[in-house]
Amino acid sequence: MKSKLFKTLALGLIAVSLWSCKKEETRTVSNVTAAGTLTASTSALNLVQANGALPATTLTYPLATSSGYVVPVSTTLQFALKGTNFATPKEVVVTTKSYAPTITEVNNMILAFGGVVGKPAEVEVRLKSGAAVNDLTYSNVVTLTATPYLASAWIYAPGAYQGWNPSTADSLISISSNGVYTGMIAYTTGNLEFKITPAKKWDVAYGDAGGGKISSSAGDNLKSPDAIVKQVTVDLNKNTIVFGTPNEWSIIGDATPGGWNNDTDMKGVNDGKFTVYSIKTTLGVGEFKFRFGHAWDVNLGGGATLTTGGDNIKVTAAGTYTITLTVIKTGDKVTGGTYTIVKN
């Protein structure tokens, strides 16, 4: 009798346990909707700087939801250049069923992706939805086409190299007006100090705050580490300054200070077009060529009209010269150029 009672109690406990597990199992089930269909009001975008605050297009989509045991879910729009397979997309988390990026936002995004001003670009957009990184779903891909425009801003670098005159100082450019400015400055021996001004006047001037930092309240001048052409990058979002070596156009040859083994960098005009470069330097009797990126893949030579891979340019009299190079491009490809060389 006791044995039968114990068996009955044991079976009852097992049943209760199984019922509890089942109940708990049911309670923790969550159903998350898959990413829905993404649509765009227009896919051919007309980017005009004067209309920068207006919507470029309107994207519509359903938001991700969960039912049953409710868990947090998110809906994210991913943007990427066509052909990159969304390897490093720009992401925008959305909480409403439509998103209308402005013309300025789309233009800046394309430029940040490496798009070229005046050249049509294709941007792919998709929806990413889900509750966890291992349980994400993606929508259809919508392709937007647009031609970015030059939306630049400038700051200035008056200093000893040009007589401390803000009105004629070299500029640093921010192609997409994102607060990060860069450009090339030709520093000379004994003339390394300068400041940064937002306008061509001394009302506000950034000086050296130490440790690669700049400040409008710092009195000390900024100083280039070398008396050569330097690539200067100023981030006014973080108030930082970085000096680098340009990796654009240079002269090389036995007529130049560096011979055939070392490039002498030219200074680019900081206008955002990247087509005009110049340098004032000493030349000896000999020959030289122009080349890009400190490599021979792209080089120019020949007569007054330069050709890719053209002959060496001869210098018949030693002296100090000002050399100006104008690069000719077809799309992104360098197809030739012109140059002037004036003895000072």
Whether pLDDT at 137 is above 70 = yes
The pLDDT mean for the chain works out to 87
- Which of 197, 228, 245 is at the close of a domain? 245
Whether pLDDT at 327 is above 50 = yes
Angle at 168 between CA 291 and CA 251, to 5 degrees: 10
pLDDT tens, residue by residue, 22-34: 444 445 555 556 6
Do residues 276 and 236 share a domain?
Answer: no
Show the domain range for 68: 30-146
Beta carbons within 8 Å of 261's beta carbon, 6+ residues apart: none
Whether pLDDT at 146 is above 80 = yes
Model confidence, pTM: 0.60
Do residues 218 and 267 share a domain?
Answer: no
Backbone angles phi, psi at 184, to 5 degrees: -105, 135
Do residues 121 and 38 share a domain?
Answer: yes
Angle at 188 between CA 187 and CA 189, to 5 degrees: 135
Q: In the prediction, which pLDDT does 70 show? A: 47
Do residues 159 and 177 share a domain?
Answer: yes
Q: Is residue 124 a part of any domain in this protein?
A: yes
Q: What total of structural domains would you count in the chain?
A: 3
With cut-offs at 50, 70 and 90, classify the pLDDT of residue 66: low
- Which of 222, 245, 268 is at the close of a domain? 245
Do residues 166 and 194 share a domain?
Answer: yes
Q: Is residue 53 a part of any domain in this protein?
A: yes
Q: Is residue 251 a part of any domain in this protein?
A: yes
